[in-house]
Structure 1
Amino acid sequence: MTTGERHADLLDRVREQLAGRSAEPDAQTIAEAVRSEAGGLLSDTDLLAALRYLQTELVGAGPLERLLADPLVTDILVTGPDRVWVERGAGLEAVEVAFDDEASVRRLAVRLALGAGRRLDDAQPWVDGRLSGVGRHGYAVRLHAMIPPLALDGTCISLRVLRAATMDFTTLVRSGGIPDEVRDLVSGVIADRRAFLVVGGTGAGKSTLLNCLLGQVDPGERLVLVEDAPELDPQHPHVVRLVARPPNVEGIGEVSVRTLVRQALRMRPDRIVVGEVRGAEVIDLLTALNTGHDGCAGTLHANSIAEVPARMEALAALGGMGRAALHSQLAAALDVVLGVARQPDGRRGLVEVGALERGAGGSVSIRTVWSRDGESVGAHR
């Protein structure tokens, strides 16, 4: 029997012994279980090797731990035992991280699913959840995993690392994230208490821009932030942070973003901020914008500012709001749309600024007032 086979056999026995414990095992607990199951037949060297192997298999994110510790990594993608990819801001790149076999990848996926309060097995072959305190730095992580036979080539794991966005306004201007030519325009949106949305694709820097803009809000104002996962951390003295909660493994206990938006309305906010509008909570955000809460904000997944009306129509439909009602609410609620994107050189930042216009038929469109590539005003009607 090879060393790997001995470790795998030992792993099965140790895992069975630890299965009844509710807490994640620490190094001492694992060591005691290893000694117990090995029956004193391992040398100190073999015991240490087995302990390291088992810690990788039983604790945290296993072989992915060192990637989570990299402050530049935003996404980790596993598509096979020896096919691991990361995103560090310049596109996906393969890394030299490998699992022993497909079974090892699946064991990690199942363990992470349990950590998110979900199940992952043949009856429920995919999982979508959120992990807290993953990695040595305790970052929140969005998890998605899928196992065969739906994932034809083996277990797939996708981790999105949710590090708090902390860059301030001055730093973002200095780095080019906010071009100097629109610095006053953007800061004026905050000073004039304009309601605004930050829009862009996945990983385009929506949270980074919103976070730095919130740091520009008058210190005397009270900000109530509502998020699906904790990403915003503005440099402001009066912030209330509300974070949604997914259902547990029994499918109960969920607290949605929409519920939290409703609660935020009762917390005497000066500004309500929704970290990302993903569904029917867009209706409650529009309600907040139309009830005297000037300067509210949010982020929305859209590839350009021109797509915003159609995107919001689709989300509002999830809550039963029709197109005409949505456009009526939107025209009264929103003033400015800020579009962010990733540049060819990998840098992320502001690329478009738009203002809302209401046509003769009542429908809302976005008029471009500035774009990084110099397009004329009105190019995105």
Structure 2
Amino acid sequence: MEIPAQLEALFTKGVTELMLIGSDNCFIDRGGALERVRSPFDSDAELSSLLIELALESGSRLDLAKPMADFSISNFRLSAQLRSAVSTLPMVTIRRHPKSQITLEHLLTTLMLTQSQANFLSEAVRTEKTVLISGATSSGKTTLLGALVHQSAQRCAVIEQTPEIKVSAPSFSFLERPNNQEGVGLISQSELLTAALRMRPDRLVLGEVRGAEFVALLQAVNNGHPALATLHARSLAEVPSRLLLLGQLANIDRELVAQLAMGIDYVVQLENRETRRVSEIGKLKLDPFEVVPIEL
């Protein structure tokens, strides 16, 4: 299954993301400010019809009863919404991932990180350290995560909500499953994490920590399983509060969350200002609970 030609044509050189807000408002992202371009759709009905068709072909559900869906087609990830109680317009955000595996060497050529940062992260992976990749939306967290997974010679258990990270045997991947039409059948990332631990992985990889799976991941890390994961935070200074919030959502005491977080060896902060790049690498400190930048 391929993405329709009228959408793929908008992904010219340098474009990584496409946003449609109704059929009249179309924007592309080349890694800086959004650029408005001509929409390939003549009406909202045409856009809605295509989104429903694409979701169905990908094995997902998108209709009036379930007006929001995340799914993947080839190397594109789509987050779609129909006109409904949650949105006055049909919308979709499409992110393109490279068809070939991105490596640290490639990220060096795009200036996403420096040679010293690449050497540091390569050594961290080689010595089985746990690395948390932090950044805002579209800062390149998943791109760097995939490069580090590729850098690892370990058997990685990759757990994601939607498929974005390429792996090959002996590594393997699990995908979260949403509820079916009857509202049952959910398989959460926490459950997948537990299942993955029974399959003797050398390293756990979590596409993004955003809920109860965070505490399960920290427990696994403190039991000796190195991990790679991403977190949504705008700066190193914001990371501790985000970790505490995730712990609070899982009804875990603040002190215990901070103690468990000491199993995270390094925090990598990404930013997207004209270009995506690693801005800082830091290490968590317990008292006070903060991230201290490392000089490289």
Q: Give the TM-score normalised by structure 2.
A: 0.87
Q: Which moved more, 1:250-259 or 1:333-342?
A: 250-259
Pairing partner for 1:179 from 103, 114, 118: 114
Distance 1:190 1:158 in 2: 35
Q: Is the Cα contact below 8 Å between 2:67 and 2:83 reproduced in 1?
A: no
Matched, 1:226 2:159: yes
Distance 1:60 1:204 in 2: 24
Q: Is the Cα contact below 8 Å between 1:162 and 1:231 reproduced in 2?
A: no
Distance 1:216 1:104 in 2: 43
Matched, 1:94 2:33: no
Higher relative contact order (CA 8 A, sep 6+): 2
**How many residue pairs end up in the alignment?**
294
Q: Deviation of residue 112 (structure 1)?
A: 4.5
Residue type of the alignment partner of 1:252: V
**Distance change (3 Å), C-alpha of 1:63 and 1:148:** farther
User: Residues 184-217 of structure 1, C-alpha deviation per residue, up to 9 Å, x if partnerless?
Assistant: 3222212322211011111111112122222332
Q: Deviation of residue 328 (structure 1)?
A: 1.5
Q: Residue 163 of structure 1 corresponds to which residue in structure 2?
A: 97
**Distance change (3 Å), C-alpha of 1:91 and 1:193:** same
Q: Is the Cα contact below 8 Å between 2:68 and 2:79 reproduced in 1?
A: yes
SS of the counterpart of 1:78?
strand
Higher helix share: 1
Q: Residue 172 of structure 2 corresponds to which residue in structure 1?
A: 240
Distance 1:148 1:296 in 2: 39
Q: Is the Cα contact below 8 Å between 2:135 and 2:141 reproduced in 1?
A: yes
Matched, 1:145 2:73: no
Q: Residue 74 of structure 1 corresponds to which residue in structure 2?
A: 16
Distance 1:323 1:288 in 2: 18
Residue type of the alignment partner of 1:192: T
The share of aligned pairs that are identical, in percent, is 29
Unaligned residue ranges in structure 1 (runs of 5+):
1-23, 25-58, 372-381
Pairing partner for 1:301 from 198, 221, 232: 232
Unaligned residue ranges in structure 2 (runs of 5+):
none
Pairing partner for 1:368 from 288, 293, 296: 293
Q: Residue 276 of structure 1 corresponds to which residue in structure 2?
A: 208
The root-mean-square deviation of aligned C-alpha atoms, in Å, is 2.7
**Distance change (3 Å), C-alpha of 1:289 and 1:99:** same
Q: Deviation of residue 246 (structure 1)?
A: 2.1
Distance 1:203 1:140 in 2: 14
Q: Give the TM-score normalised by structure 1.
A: 0.69
Q: For residues 1-381 of structure 1, what are the structure 2 equivalents within 5 Å?
A: 63-67=6-10, 72-112=14-54, 114=56, 117-121=60-64, 124=65, 127-133=67-73, 138-147=74-83, 151-152=87-88, 155-161=89-95, 163=97, 166-217=101-152, 219=153, 221-233=154-166, 238-293=170-225, 295-331=226-262, 333-344=263-274, 347-359=275-287, 364-370=289-295
SS of the counterpart of 1:279?
coil
Q: Deviation of residue 170 (structure 1)?
A: 1.9
